[in-house]
Amino acid sequence: MSASRKCLCCVKYLMFVFNLIFWLGGCGLFGVGVWLSFTQAEFSSLPLSFPSLSAANLLLVAGGITMVTGFLGCLGALKEQRCLLFMFFVILLLLVLTEVTLVVVIHIFHDKLDSKAQDDLKEGMKIYNSEPGLKQSWDNVQKMFKCCGVTNKTDWFDVLNGTLPASCCSGGGDQCVDGWSEPCYQKARQWLLDNIPSVLVFGVCIGVVQILALVFSMLMYCQILCAEKRVD
């Protein structure tokens, strides 16, 4: 076996290993998204801007794309097909650029995004009495997090004519006079931040694997191209 062929085999199996890790990472992200979706099923009727619901959907999408991309990379490495490798490289490059852009946008505009999400939730509160599913979701959120309203319990005053829903109080009676003082948006956001650090560390590791997979895919693509030219 020639030195170039040995080098190609080495890159091929390294590429396969990295993409297998990448695929497994995608399975992990998807799994966390499924878990988060199930834990938030009791208030799934709320707008998707609710912190934990938006995080669950983001993880499901990211995990699904990562799994498909990792599979393409594994297949391209084993088959040594330039077409698959190039497709993998382009998709992965777009994925990395999207992730970086998303992180930068969230970091820069997080205050505006929070404000927009809170406005969406307040708008949804207006149909509390007419939508049984939404009513049940809000009641579940407020009981689970021991909170009241989006940013303040007074958010309910315009919706319920100066009164509070029974779920704003611990007693569970028909009338609630002095509900919990903590806002639901901040409580849910804090719950998400308390439970997400391990996922963020996992995400950074996946990011490193993505960069290495990009390098190895391009290296393997170039080696296959050179080998084909030598044969011709």
Q: What is the pLDDT of residues 182-219, one digit of tens each?
A: 888 888 888 777 777 766 777 777 778 778 778 877 87
Question: Of 187, 150, 144, 185, whose CA–CA distance to 167 is shortest?
Answer: 144
CATH entry, 110-231, from 1.10.1450.10, 3.30.1380.10, 3.40.630.30, 1.20.1050.10: 1.10.1450.10
Chain segment 153-172, per-residue pLDDT in tens: 888 888 888 888 888 887 65
Question: Of 204, 154, 159, 162, whose CA–CA distance to 180 is shortest?
Answer: 154
Does the global pTM surpass 0.85? no
Question: What is the reported pLDDT for 79?
Answer: 78
Asked if pLDDT for residue 148 goes beyond 80, the answer is: yes
Q: What residue segments make up the domains of the chain, in order of their start?
A: 110-231
- Measured CA to CA in angstroms, residue 7 lies from 13, 18, 224 at distances of 10, 16, 11
CA distance linking residue 174 with residue 100, whole number of Å: 49
* Mean of pLDDT over the chain: 78
Question: What is the reported pLDDT for 54?
Answer: 62
Q: What percent of the chain has pLDDT over 70?
A: 83
Question: What is the reported pLDDT for 141?
Answer: 82
The model's confidence at residue 173, banded by pLDDT at 50, 70 and 90, is low
The model's confidence at residue 46, banded by pLDDT at 50, 70 and 90, is low
Q: Which residues of 185-198 are buried (b: 16+ CB within 10 A; e: fewer)?
A: bbbbbeebeeebee
Question: What is the reported pLDDT for 40?
Answer: 63
